[in-house]
Structure 1
Amino acid sequence: MDIAKIMQDIKKGCAEIIGEQRLEELIRNYYEKNENFFVKAGFDPTAPDLHLGHSVVLNKMALLQKHGAIIQFLIGDFTAQIGDPSGKSATRKPLTKDEVLKNAKTYEEQVFKILNKEKTVLCFNSKWLNDLGSAGIIKLSATFNVARMLERDDFEKRFKAQNPISICEFLYPLLQGYDSVALKSDIEMGGTDQKFNLLMGRHLQRTYELGKEQVVFMMPLLVGLDGVQKMSKSLGNYIGITENANDMYAKILSISDELMLSYYELLSDISFDDFQNLKKELKNSTLHPKKAKENLAIELVDRFHSKEKAIMAKNEFDKIHSANELPTVIDEFECENEIWLAKALVLCGLESSTSAARRSIKANSVSVNLKKVKDEQMQLCKGDYVLQLGKRKFARLKVK
Structure 2
Amino acid sequence: MNEIELTKEQQEELARQWAILSRGAVEIIPEDEFKQKLARAIKKTTPLKVKLGLDPSAPDIHIGHTVPLQKLKQFQDLGHIVQLVIGDFTGQIGDPTGKSETRKQLTPEQVKQNAETYLKQLFKILDPKKTEVSYNSTWLAPLTFADVVNLAAKMTVARMLERDDFEKRFRANQSISIHEFFYPLMQGYDSVALHSDVELGGTDQKFNLLMGRHLQKEFGQEQQAVLMLPLIEGLDGVQKMSKSLGNYIGIDEAPNEIYGKAMSIPDELMVKYYQLVTDLPHEEVERMVNGLQDGTIHPRDAKMKLAYTLVRMYHGEEAAQEAEHHFKTVFQKRDIPEDIPEVTINQGQFENGQIWIVRLLVDLGLVPSNGEGRRMIQQGAVKVNGEKWEEVDANISVEDGMIIQVGKRKFAKIRLA
Q: Taking structure 1 as the reference length, what is the TM-score of the superposition?
A: 0.93
State the Cα distance separating 1:264 from its structure 2 match: 1.1
SS of 1:190's equivalent in the other structure is strand
Which residue number corresponds to residue 148 of structure 1? 159
Which residue number corresponds to residue 295 of structure 1? 305
State the Cα distance separating 1:180 from its structure 2 match: 0.9
The answer as to whether partners of 1:17 and 1:216 remain within 8 angstroms in 2 is: yes
Residues 82 and 164 of structure 1: is their aligned pair in 2 closer, same or farther, counting only changes over 3 Å?
closer
Residues 163 and 331 of structure 1: is their aligned pair in 2 closer, same or farther, counting only changes over 3 Å?
farther
Using the alignment, how far apart are the partners of 2:101 and 2:169 within structure 1? 15
Q: Which runs of 5+ in 2 are unaligned?
A: 1-8
Which residue number corresponds to residue 215 of structure 1? 225
Using the alignment, how far apart are the partners of 2:345 and 2:57 within structure 1? 38
SS of 1:132's equivalent in the other structure is coil
Residues 129 and 264 of structure 1: is their aligned pair in 2 closer, same or farther, counting only changes over 3 Å?
same
Residues 82 and 27 of structure 1: is their aligned pair in 2 closer, same or farther, counting only changes over 3 Å?
closer
1:71 partnered with 2:82: yes
The answer as to whether partners of 1:331 and 1:395 remain within 8 angstroms in 2 is: yes
The answer as to whether partners of 1:30 and 1:67 remain within 8 angstroms in 2 is: no
Using the alignment, how far apart are the partners of 2:266 and 2:174 within structure 1? 39
Q: Which of 94, 97, 110 does residue 106 from structure 2 map onto?
A: 94
State the Cα distance separating 1:348 from its structure 2 match: 1.9
Residues 331 and 84 of structure 1: is their aligned pair in 2 closer, same or farther, counting only changes over 3 Å?
farther
The answer as to whether partners of 2:359 and 2:370 remain within 8 angstroms in 1 is: yes
The answer as to whether partners of 1:43 and 1:74 remain within 8 angstroms in 2 is: yes
Tell me the alpha carbon deviations over residues 2-38 of structure 1, each in whole angstroms, 9 at most, x when there is no partner.
2113212211111111022232233323332110121
Tell me the alpha carbon deviations over residues 349-376 of structure 1, each in whole angstroms, 9 at most, x when there is no partner.
2222222222221211111111112222
The answer as to whether partners of 2:61 and 2:251 remain within 8 angstroms in 1 is: yes
Q: Which of 181, 185, 195 does residue 196 from structure 2 map onto?
A: 185
The answer as to whether partners of 2:102 and 2:177 remain within 8 angstroms in 1 is: no
Aligned residue runs from structure 1 range 327-338, under 5 A: 327=337, 328-335=339-346, 336-337=349-350, 338=354
Count of residue pairs brought into register by the alignment = 398
- Write the letter of the residue equivalent to 1:249: Y
Q: Which of 387, 392, 399 does residue 404 from structure 2 map onto?
A: 387
Q: Which of 329, 340, 344 does residue 356 from structure 2 map onto?
A: 340
The answer as to whether partners of 1:203 and 1:213 remain within 8 angstroms in 2 is: yes
Q: Which of 250, 258, 264 does residue 268 from structure 2 map onto?
A: 258
Which residue number corresponds to residue 35 of structure 2? 24
The answer as to whether partners of 1:281 and 1:287 remain within 8 angstroms in 2 is: yes
Using the alignment, how far apart are the partners of 1:22 and 1:112 within structure 2? 30
1:200 partnered with 2:211: yes
The answer as to whether partners of 1:341 and 1:376 remain within 8 angstroms in 2 is: yes
Tell me the alpha carbon deviations over residues 292-345 of structure 1, each in whole angstroms, 9 at most, x when there is no partner.
111112222211121121111111111111222323132414152122212222
- Write the letter of the residue equivalent to 2:403: V
Deviates more, 1:52-61 or 1:116-125: 116-125
Using the alignment, how far apart are the partners of 1:363 and 1:389 within structure 2? 10
- Write the letter of the residue equivalent to 2:408: K
The answer as to whether partners of 2:345 and 2:414 remain within 8 angstroms in 1 is: yes
- Write the letter of the residue equivalent to 1:140: L
SS of 1:23's equivalent in the other structure is helix
- Write the letter of the residue equivalent to 1:94: L
Deviates more, 1:4-13 or 1:328-337: 328-337
Using the alignment, how far apart are the partners of 2:101 and 2:344 within structure 1? 39
Tell me the alpha carbon deviations over residues 139-166 of structure 1, each in whole angstroms, 9 at most, x when there is no partner.
1111111111111111111111111111
Q: Taking structure 2 as the reference length, what is the TM-score of the superposition?
A: 0.89
Deviates more, 1:146-155 or 1:301-310: 301-310
Aligned residue runs from structure 1 range 239-250, under 5 A: 239-250=249-260
- Write the letter of the residue equivalent to 2:379: A
The answer as to whether partners of 1:179 and 1:201 remain within 8 angstroms in 2 is: yes
Q: Which runs of 5+ in 1 are unaligned?
A: none
Residues 91 and 186 of structure 1: is their aligned pair in 2 closer, same or farther, counting only changes over 3 Å?
closer
The answer as to whether partners of 1:40 and 1:74 remain within 8 angstroms in 2 is: yes
Using the alignment, how far apart are the partners of 2:106 and 2:293 within structure 1? 51
Tell me the alpha carbon deviations over residues 75-110 of structure 1, each in whole angstroms, 9 at most, x when there is no partner.
1111334567887677845323x5434332222221
Aligned residue runs from structure 1 range 274-289, under 5 A: 274-289=284-299
Using the alignment, how far apart are the partners of 1:25 and 1:68 within structure 2? 17
1:60 partnered with 2:75: no
The answer as to whether partners of 1:186 and 1:214 remain within 8 angstroms in 2 is: yes
Which residue number corresponds to residue 49 of structure 1? 60
The answer as to whether partners of 2:26 and 2:228 remain within 8 angstroms in 1 is: yes
1:364 partnered with 2:376: no
Using the alignment, how far apart are the partners of 1:82 and 1:120 within structure 2? 25
Residues 260 and 331 of structure 1: is their aligned pair in 2 closer, same or farther, counting only changes over 3 Å?
farther
Using the alignment, how far apart are the partners of 1:83 and 1:112 within structure 2? 23
Residues 145 and 258 of structure 1: is their aligned pair in 2 closer, same or farther, counting only changes over 3 Å?
same
State the Cα distance separating 1:396 from its structure 2 match: 2.4
SS of 1:383's equivalent in the other structure is coil
Question: RMSD of aligned C-alpha atoms?
Answer: 2.1
Q: Which of 361, 372, 390 does residue 374 from structure 1 map onto?
A: 390
